[in-house]
Structure 1
Amino acid sequence: MSLSQKSTATRANVAQGAANVIQDEVDVDVVDNEATLLTLLKKGWAKRSHQKFLKSHLEGYKTALLVSHEKANSFLENIVNLWFAKYHWLISVTQEELPTRPPFPIGADGFKQLSEKQSILKGKVIERMRKSLYNWFDHRSKKTKTLKRSKSSEDPLSILVNCLLGNTGPAKLRTGWELRGTANYESLKAPFKQAFMESGKPEKHRATFWNLFKKKEFLKLSEEDQKKWTDDAIEAHNAVKKAWEGSTEMSPTEAQA
């Protein structure tokens, strides 16, 4: 074996040894902290920054609940994702921050590599937190009743409330491909992520690439289906616009009645 090959092999062994040490250290930390991470949360558990975070999403949850329980559950899933983007899953709710982020090894795909034990614990922590967040929002939204509306997926009332979830003014006219992309987000998410990764484009171009991806998928539909989505988009826009214009004609007293 040449001197160069020996040097390369030595560096590889050192790197592997370091990775094993890191993995062992994380395993010990996870095991020691497991009981704390899975402790049943009692009344009043949300304090300081945790409470501020939850309160910032409470009105949005109540508005989603006006549409349906399904919409509220979907909104809650988004809150769960935001929670773990803000608070690492190894952080107990009794802590504000984790001093040192766990040094999980990073794989070739750029994702953290967890042991089977760590993955199982992470799943338990997420599920525990999902239930805790649901209980927190549900307790503060019991007086919020789902509004009655027609069974049509394009019911004006549902459209209006959906608009209120993200807009304070009249909704902009969306195209058929935009409406379809929103309605089929879950099924398009995985193939889009794969296509974006393969494109090699920087993260700042994700939004533009997403729109191009939705247009491309939309053009795969038959002309009849494309027309249907376009007509639905126009109908939804007109319904929201009419409802919003009607609300602006009301006095402050009438609007709050």
Structure 2
Amino acid sequence: MAALHGSIKRKLYARIAAHGGKAKSHKTAFCREHGLSARMFNAIAVELQGLLDGTRELLASERKDLLKAIRRQARQLVARRDRLAEIEADRLRMNPQREAKLRRTAHRNGVALSRLQAKLARIERRLAANVPGICFGTRKLFNQQHYLALTGFRDRDAWLRAWQESRSHQVYFVGSKDETAGNQLCQLRQTADGRYQLKVRVPDCLRNRGERKYLVINGVTFNHDRAALDEALDANTALSWRLHWDGRHWRAFV
């Protein structure tokens, strides 16, 4: 299910990249093409739209910092070039060592300014695009395929397994107070032994004819905020769930 969730999220991202709009604007066509329920699409769309909006906010903040740094570097470069121009015009005398240091500093200023401007241009392109350029699975892990020995992978197949796992390591279900247990797709109930049972709706596209609609997980426990969780279940509060694979276990966040 996590693999399907990750795959659909990436396909929806590609659709937005090609055609623009918000994630939810592609709902009808996407549900029809991939056999998704409206509620399941909503969960994927909410998660993806949050990721897109959050990335844009981070890029906007980075752009603001870059503009400040560019203005500072530009002022320093202008001041140093003015001093060098005075030396060339013989209006300023300077010790040869100090003059050489000034020239090196001005050169470094120019290089730093060029790098900052190039980085700003990349951010401006990402902000202007339909999507801000997200690498699912992280760029760091993606780039490790080029340095397998240095990053500890035995071969490319080992890296590919880690990459695919990183891209499909969680499932998100958005809650609603109008649904049983606050969620249509992922429902929790307390059992007689004081633990919980989690019931997860399996997408139709993953089921063969006659197979059960729900995956039932018994013996679920929570180490934190159980009282608040029980109170929310009793009040039928909207509960959104994130099921996360940490490499050894599945963990439930509510």
Range class of TM-score, shorter chain:
under 0.3
Q: What TM-score do you get using the length of structure 2 for normalisation?
A: 0.22
More helix by share: 1
CA radius of gyration, larger in: 2
Q: What TM-score do you get using the length of structure 1 for normalisation?
A: 0.21
More strand by share: 2
